[in-house]
Chain A
Amino acid sequence: MTEYTQTMTEYTERLLNETPRKDASDRFRIVWLVVIPLIAVLSQVYVPRFVPFLAYLELPLLITVHFALTSGGPIGALSYGMFIGLVQDSLSHQPIGMYGIVKTLVGYFAASVSMRFDVQNPVVTFILAFFFYFFHQFFYWVLSRALLGETLGFDAQQTLIFGLLNAAVALPLFRVLDKLKVAR
């Protein structure tokens, strides 16, 4: 019992004290910081034209989550989330700021969580991606009702399924994005 408690304490301390990801010290080149969200937004507005089923894929959100998990600080993550969200808002027909607020929160919380958990673990990555997708959709729905007065319905079952699919896509996507980083 003593050994078990000691082991758990060490694990907890390691989770709390370690850097968010082991390659958190690495960072994207500046160009990738611009190109990657651009590709994500482009894919969101372009690919569903030909493959409507892929409309469920929220690549800007996954990029935001990945950046937040690897950025090492909430301020950078929320700023990045705000940037991507505003670009999305700009390409939509709704008031600018809806996606910005949601992705700002996602970036902030993802960055905060990354300081507490081993986000290198695929399971954790999957769970985080699923959770933030659900959070993103739910919070967007709340904002739409609260700020814009829209009476949109929230299909929790569909959101859960799409959350799982986005989480499944997040695993290989994060691997690819990690490859684009360079050592500090």
Chain B
Amino acid sequence: MDFFLSRYRHLTVLLVVITAQLLLIAYQVKTSKDIPLIRVWAVTAVTPFESGLELVRRYTWGFVEDYFVLLGVRSQNDKLRNENGQLKIENNYLKSELATADRARALSVFEARSPSKTVAARVIGNGTGANSKVVFVDRGSTSGVESGMAVVTPDGIVGKVVEAYPTASLVMLITDPTFAAGVVSQKNRVHGTLKGQGHAECLVDYVQNEEHVDIGEWFYTSGDDRIFPKGFPVGQVAAAPNGKTFKEIYISPSGMQGGVEEVLIVLQGVHQEVPGAEVASPAYSLMPAPTEIIQTPEGGPPPGSLSTDADRLRAIYKDVGIEQKHTYGEGPPGTKPPDFTKIPSVHGAPPPNAAAQPLTGPPAAQPSTSRPKPAPPKSVQPSKNDQPSAQVPSKPAPAASERPPAPAATQPADNQ
């Protein structure tokens, strides 16, 4: 045995070691148990070094790695910056396109809603000249554009055509020093003449110092110039100090805010009403409108019929005409009128002297204290208040066919 061990000592040790490990494995497999002691020792011996390695790596290799990452970040940053710049350019381009589309849509809507016949045009260039404010638009005489036509946008007036070429037109902007147009204020209906100043603001001239113009008040075209149809917005009052004789009213043109790109040339203008002014609250209190009809005294006319002296007179004259078989308005001048001394008592209407009596209860009715004189049949005269009062100087009037009709004045009304 000793000989065998000494002769095969190495092999014996090997067999012992292998057998021991086989038994170890067999034990683990058989019992499904681990050998925690060996594992704990091994793990305890190895993991601190592993942690140390990780720590070293984090502060060395990690630093180097971060450095290269940062190098990559730098190049990536440059790349992103370039990309961002391109995107900004593209974004600005798209915004511009969108704004153009919005303006075109606004023009289209305005063109469809406006009663005036217009044609859309695009500004294609500026005119030469040191102080002149003129632009070229891409619509000319072939599109029906003629000299003297108004040029507007949905926001307000822009200028007027001063020259019409076959394919383009020269438009004088309202900021041109030689431009003039009739305007009217919205609130107080103050008429004046809009003049260009060569810069962003325009002046409304020929407004008396006694007139009242508020800051921020809107001015509209008055139609007095026979170029711009009445009712187009012009701009808001920026300042309105008193001058020697006339106010110096400065207006910020609303049609040229943000530049002029697309415009409408008014081929056939139609006057519109100037939007109503904001009515200030009255300083006195008014009673609420009556909701019930107050019972009238016996014998009075039913409510709602012949409530004024004029109505009653009209009814009386009409009855007289019917009774005497006379038709008003017929016959040559000098025809004998009906005999108004024979006034019948018809429709239950009181005699003229009784017509002046208040018949109904509303206190708002204004009773007349004296008997009205019988007016002749054609008695109502046209009012002069709506006649154009401001004159636009210095511009020769274009052909009548190009002009919008005069602002709608009150026509003489015939009572018959």
Asked whether, in the complex, the Cβ of B45 is within 8 Å of the Cβ of A95, the reply is no
Query: What is the bound-complex CA distance between A46 and B49, given in angstroms?
Result: 10
Query: What is the bound-complex CA distance between A98 and B21, given in angstroms?
Result: 8
* The residue from B14, B41, B46, B54 contacting A74, defined by CB atoms under 8 A apart: B14
Contact of A91 with B by CB under 8 A = yes
Contact of B112 with A by CB under 8 A = no
Q: Closest Cβ of chain B: how far from A151's Cβ, in Å? A: 16
Docked complex: A1-58 residues within 8 A CB-CB of B: 38, 41-42, 45-46, 50
Residues of B within 8 A of A148 (CB): 25, 29
Residues of B within 8 A of A112 (CB): 10
Query: What is the bound-complex CA distance between A38 and B44, given in angstroms?
Result: 12
- Give B213-255 as 1s and 0s: 1 = Cβ < 8 Å from A's Cβ atoms: 0000000000000000000000000000000000000000000
Asked whether, in the complex, the Cβ of B29 is within 8 Å of the Cβ of A45, the reply is no
Asked whether, in the complex, the Cβ of A87 is within 8 Å of the Cβ of B10, the reply is no
- Among residues of A, the one whose C-beta sits closest to the C-beta of B54 is A46
Asked whether, in the complex, the Cβ of A38 is within 8 Å of the Cβ of B25, the reply is no
Contact of A129 with B by CB under 8 A = no
- Give B252-288 as 1s and 0s: 1 = Cβ < 8 Å from A's Cβ atoms: 0000000000000000000000000000000000000
- Give B158-195 as 1s and 0s: 1 = Cβ < 8 Å from A's Cβ atoms: 00000000000000000000000000000000000000
Contact of A82 with B by CB under 8 A = yes
Q: Closest Cβ of chain A: how far from B391's Cβ, in Å? A: 92
Asked whether, in the complex, the Cβ of A147 is within 8 Å of the Cβ of B46, the reply is no
- Among residues of B, the one whose C-beta sits closest to the C-beta of A90 is B42
Query: Which one of A41, A79, A101 has the greatest number of beta carbons of chain B within 10 Å?
Result: A101
Say yes or no: A38-B49 contact (C-beta < 8 A), given A90-B39, A96-B24: yes
Contact of B55 with A by CB under 8 A = no
Query: Which one of B13, B21, B39 has the greatest number of beta carbons of chain A within 10 Å?
Result: B21
Query: What is the bound-complex CA distance between A90 and B44, given in angstroms?
Result: 10
Asked whether, in the complex, the Cβ of A97 is within 8 Å of the Cβ of B24, the reply is yes
Query: What is the bound-complex CA distance between A46 and B54, given in angstroms?
Result: 9
Asked whether, in the complex, the Cβ of B13 is within 8 Å of the Cβ of A42, the reply is no
Number of A residues near B (Cβ < 8 Å) is: 29
Contact of A132 with B by CB under 8 A = no
Contact of B38 with A by CB under 8 A = yes
Residues of A within 8 A of B38 (CB): 86, 89-90, 96
Say yes or no: A108-B28 contact (C-beta < 8 A), given A46-B50, A79-B17, A91-B43: no
Q: Closest Cβ of chain B: how far from A48's Cβ, in Å? A: 13
Query: Which one of B14, B46, B54 has the greatest number of beta carbons of chain A within 10 Å?
Result: B14
Say yes or no: A45-B46 contact (C-beta < 8 A), given A96-B39, A101-B22, A105-B18: yes
Judged by DSSP, the binding face of B is helix
Residues of B within 8 A of A98 (CB): 25
Say yes or no: A96-B18 contact (C-beta < 8 A), given A75-B10, A90-B38: no
Query: What is the bound-complex CA distance between A90 and B13, given in angstroms?
Result: 23
Asked whether, in the complex, the Cβ of B9 is within 8 Å of the Cβ of A75, the reply is yes
Contact of B35 with A by CB under 8 A = yes
Contact of A63 with B by CB under 8 A = no
Q: Closest Cβ of chain B: how far from A98's Cβ, in Å? A: 7
Contact of A62 with B by CB under 8 A = no
Asked whether, in the complex, the Cβ of A96 is within 8 Å of the Cβ of B17, the reply is no
* The residue from B25, B26, B41, B50 contacting A90, defined by CB atoms under 8 A apart: B41
Query: What is the bound-complex CA distance between A23 and B17, given in angstroms?
Result: 28
Asked whether, in the complex, the Cβ of A75 is within 8 Å of the Cβ of B13, the reply is yes
Residues of B within 8 A of A46 (CB): 50, 53-54
Q: Closest Cβ of chain B: how far from A110's Cβ, in Å? A: 12
Q: Closest Cβ of chain B: how far from A124's Cβ, in Å? A: 21
Query: What is the bound-complex CA distance between A41 and B41, given in angstroms?
Result: 14
Query: What is the bound-complex CA distance between A164 and B287, given in angstroms?
Result: 112
Asked whether, in the complex, the Cβ of A78 is within 8 Å of the Cβ of B17, the reply is yes
- Among residues of A, the one whose C-beta sits closest to the C-beta of B26 is A147
Contact of A100 with B by CB under 8 A = yes
* The residue from B13, B21, B41, B53 contacting A100, defined by CB atoms under 8 A apart: B21
Asked whether, in the complex, the Cβ of B13 is within 8 Å of the Cβ of A78, the reply is yes
Asked whether, in the complex, the Cβ of B50 is within 8 Å of the Cβ of A42, the reply is yes
- Give B contacts to A, CB under 8 Å: 9-10, 13-14, 17-18, 21-22, 24-26, 28-29, 34-35, 38-39, 41-43, 45-46, 49-50, 53-54, 57
Would you give 5 A-B contacts (Cβ < 8 Å), ordered by A? A74-B10, A75-B10, A90-B39, A101-B25, A148-B29
Besides A91-B43, A148-B29, 10 other CB < 8 A contacts?
A42-B49, A42-B53, A75-B10, A91-B46, A95-B29, A98-B25, A100-B21, A101-B21, A101-B25, A147-B26
- 7 closest A-B pairs (Cβ-Cβ)? A90-B42, A97-B21, A95-B28, A74-B10, A97-B25, A97-B24, A90-B39
